[in-house]
Amino acid sequence: MKAQHLIKLFLRLALSAGFLSAVADRFGMWSTEVSVWGNWENFLAYTQLINPWLPESLISIAGILATAAEVLLAIFLIFGFKTEWVARLSGFLLLLFGLSMAFSTGIKAPLDFSVFAASAAAFALSQMKEKYLELDSLF
């Protein structure tokens, strides 16, 4: 097994874990001591905060779309389905989150939560062409 295989697998699983942890948080699955949002309502309030240009009537839809995207991207990364494409989408989604956070609340939050580092990791993963333990390589 090459070191690059392990790095690629680690990137896939780490990005997936980050997405799924954030989703679990907004559904109250983390204890209040470690939770950022803790429930769906707080998550939607934060969604409104980082998207002040979005009409309030669309915040719920934005929250649902972001959550669905994170779940789907995480599942696809875990199984290695279309990894290059999914990793690129993950990188753009994370970059969008990071920029939204930076422009609305300041640069500290996306840096503290390593959003830009995760985005860069996703873009790096998208450039790794050799398949390893990926659904695409099994067929």
Reading the block at residue 60, the tokens are 């719920």
The pLDDT value given to residue 1:
64
**Residues whose CB is less than 8 angstroms from the CB of residue 21 and which lie 6 or more positions away in sequence, other chains included:** 30
pLDDT bin (cut points 50, 70, 90) of residue 48 is: very high
Tokens linked to 39: 């429930």
CA-nearest of 121, 134, 95 to 9 is 134
pLDDT digits over 55-100, tens only? 999 999 999 999 999 999 999 999 999 999 999 999 999 999 999 9
The range of the structural domain enclosing residue 47 comes to: 3-138
pLDDT of 131 over the 80 cut: no
For the chain, the domain total comes to 1
Mean pLDDT of 107-133: 92
137 compared with 73, residue with greater pLDDT: 73
Mean pLDDT of 30-56: 96
At 2, is the pLDDT very low, low, confident or very high (cuts 50, 70, 90)? confident
Residue 19 binned pLDDT confidence (cut-offs 50, 70, 90): very high
**Total-model pTM:** 0.92
